[in-house]
Amino acid sequence: MHKIIARAPAKLNLTFDIVGTLLNGYHEVATLYQALDLEDELTFEIEPASTTSIEIIAAGHEVVPDFPADESNLISKSIEYFLSSLPGNPAVKIKAQVEKNIPIAAGMGGGSSDAAATLVALNLFFGHPFGKEELLALSSKLGADVPFCLEGGTCIGRGRGDDLTQIRPAAGLSFLLVKPNSLSISTPWAYSAFDEFTGIGEHPDLAAAVEALTSGDRQRMADSFGNAFEPLIFTRFPALHSLQKLLLELGAWCAHLTGKGPTFYALVENREMACRLREQLLEKYIQEQGAGRAQTLNCLVAESVQYGARLTGERIVNAC
């Protein structure tokens, strides 16, 4: 039996815009992706079998609510699709233990990154039948964000988000991530509502954001980052707009939704400032709304990284 350990970084959309409709009916997007050092860890136990069986377990010390352990999980879908892409459609017995650190339904690509890590692990187990470009092509069949989660780093995403162009930032970035735990936003609803939205739209300046990142101009980053979903989402969920204003009042250089939300990323100078902003935000919530309300916010400090899903360990375990 092979035991393979992989790590799956979260992603942010530093910019997100909907720019049209593709021939296949999908919305055409333009986004600036960024990978983070906030990661899920996946441990796979894999061995050949006569028929494929898949077991997915949420590991770690804390209970993970809403974690799907059935065939709806992208890990399971990735396994099935990878196997069906190999000659002879081989069968395996596979157990995946997932230590979830990326919040679920947060717009941070947790499921997509787990899928990317699964592809990397299976590619190792089967002796690297697919090169990088082939894996990227496979990953695009599983979801629009999966190719970036495989590629990692900092990328422009076009088309569905899976047409990637890698860029090289001049320096690393630090963030406070803030997710209201009681709120989730449906992706199909968000896109449908965007099409029907009659309010004043906003469109981030992707070209300016890329130039700011590659030059290290943080003021221009703060001015050019943004998300076209925000006018719609803030109309439907005004508490999110209030949260954005509060983050700015407390000193964030900018604060925007990632994906369709509900998670905000607040750009700050360094990790120390992110920790200080977290303390100030929770203190403000306690003062204004009570300690119970502060507990409804999941606040995480994270920094940018220049990698995607990756292997961190492998060993062969001999059965007794």
Quick check: is 145 catalytic?
A: yes
Report the percentage of the chain scoring pLDDT > 70: 95
At 61 the pLDDT is 58
Residue 135 in this model has a pLDDT that exceeds 90 = yes
- pLDDT of 151 > 90? The answer is yes
pLDDT at 320: 45
Nearest Cα residue to 34 out of 172, 206, 169, 153: 153
Q: Is residue 121 predicted with pLDDT exceeding 50?
A: yes
Using DSSP's 3-state secondary structure scheme, residue 56 falls into: strand
| Active-site option among 17, 40, 145, 162 | 145
Please name the residues in contact with 172: beta carbons below 8 A apart, sequence gap of 6 or more.
303, 304
Q: How confident is the model at residue 290 (pLDDT cuts 50, 70, 90)?
A: low
User: Given this model, what pLDDT does residue 71 score?
Assistant: 80
Sorting pLDDT into bands at 50, 70 and 90, what band is 23?
confident
Q: Please tell me which residue in 11, 77, 100, 179 is annotated as part of the active site.
A: 11
Q: What is the mean pLDDT of residues 132-154?
A: 97
Q: Is the pLDDT of residue 64 over 80?
A: no
The angle formed by the CA atoms of residues 120, 122 and 124, to the nearest 5 degrees, is: 70
Instruction: Describe the crossing of helices 110-125 and 74-84 by its angle, rounded to 10 degrees.
Output: 40
Q: List the domains of the chain with CATH numbers.
A: 2-167+308-316 (3.30.230.10), 174-305 (3.30.70.890)
Q: Poorest-confidence range of 68-77, 79-88, 117-126?
A: 68-77
Over 70: is that where the pLDDT of 293 sits? no
pLDDT tens track for 218-264: 999 999 999 999 999 999 999 999 999 999 999 999 999 999 999 99
Instruction: Give me the chain's average pLDDT, please.
Output: 93
Report pTM: 0.94
DSSP string, 259-283: TT-S-EEEEESSHHHHHHHHHHHHH
